[in-house]
Amino acid sequence: MTAPLESQPLLGIGLALVSALVLSVGNLLQARGVAETADRPGASGLGGRALGLLRDRPWLLGALLLGAAIVLQMGSLAFAPLIVVQPVGVSALVFTVALTAVVGGRRPSRAELRAIAVCVVGVAAFVTVAALVSTQHTIGAEELIAVLVVLAFVLLANAVLLVAGRSRPVPPVLFVLLGGVYSAFVATLGKTVILRVQTALQLHWFAVDATNLLTIGCIVGIGVAGALSIAFVQRAHAGNRPEVVVAGLTVIDPTVAVVLGITILGEASGAPLWAFAAFVAAGGVAVAGVFVLSRAARAGTA
């Protein structure tokens, strides 16, 4: 089953920007809720913390906004290739730093502004090149199986890592990294499902076969990866500042998603060699800007 699939990158990028803004507000509210819950009496233990969060209005509002951000992100993936819209998520860090400065009643430092400019330039260059050379096409059974196998391997490695290190203190940044990895799988699996649905609608092909059963498997994978991403992000908020959490998510999520989009979904299969060099250079600039911005934000709040 093959079919050409149209792309509207500008609309996809616009939705991704709105998603990044909503994500940053949601993360700030959830970080506030986690901090408030930790300071309340009776919030010890996993059950006590979970119940406290469910009673915390900022945390609940943040959860709703994160859900809205995911819906907007899926909407952006319906209009443009994964490697075009996913890097736009780096702008969530820019929004987070700006909002934190406004809420804290301080102006961003020059170092923060320079880092923001570097992030914007790197992401803009990456997205521009991706929009020019990327393509999206029908996802077959091989691609679906490949994504699910990679997810299964990550789940196994995650379980081994946590079991092996259960007697040692876990670095808080590890939860940030895991949250970003599973968030990337939500986007990648979501993209495969969207492409499958678009193709089925174009060809009026709704047969119950092995490939469509794999699509259902991808939907299950989205649920598993999404639940784990949410859980690890909550753990990350308990031991890291909001800027650090968002910085990690906006680096790991797009990096993993773009790698999967290029290697498995074939979104850059027709790209010339110069485009890959541009991807590496622009991505390096954006990642460097994220780390500089994270350090500058920490220094500004110290």
pLDDT value at residue 68: 92
**CA atoms of 107 and 202, how far apart (whole Å):** 51
4, part of any domain: no
- Is residue 140 situated within a structural domain? yes
Residues 6+ positions from 184 with CB-CB distance below 8 Å: 86, 252, 253, 254, 255, 256, 257, 260
Distance CA 55, CA 74 (A): 29
At residue 48, the pLDDT reads 57
Q: Is the pLDDT assigned to residue 1 strictly greater than 50?
A: no
**Residue 2 domain-assigned?**
no
- Provide the domain count of the chain: 1
Q: In which band, very low, low, confident or very high, does the pLDDT at 132 lie, cut at 50, 70 and 90?
A: confident
User: Is 136 within the bounds of a domain?
Assistant: yes
Residue 206's pLDDT is 61
Output the pTM of the full model: 0.79
Does position 241 have pLDDT exceeding 80, yes or no? no
- Whether residue 112 is contained in a domain is answered as yes
Residue with the bigger pLDDT between 248 and 41: it is 248
Which residues lie closer than 8 Å to 256 by C-beta, 6 or more apart? 180, 181, 184, 185, 188
Does 3 map to a domain? Answer: no
Q: Name the residue range of residue 14's domain.
A: 9-301
More confident residue, 203 or 101: 101
**At residue 73, does pLDDT exceed 60?**
yes
Does residue 80 carry a pLDDT above 80? yes
Is residue 154 one of the residues assigned to a domain? Answer: yes
160 lies in some domain: yes
Q: Check whether 152 has a pLDDT greater than 90.
A: yes
- Alpha-helical runs (H) found in the chain: 9-39, 45-54, 57-79, 82-85, 91-103, 110-133, 141-164, 172-203, 210-239, 242-263, 273-301
pLDDT at 261: 87
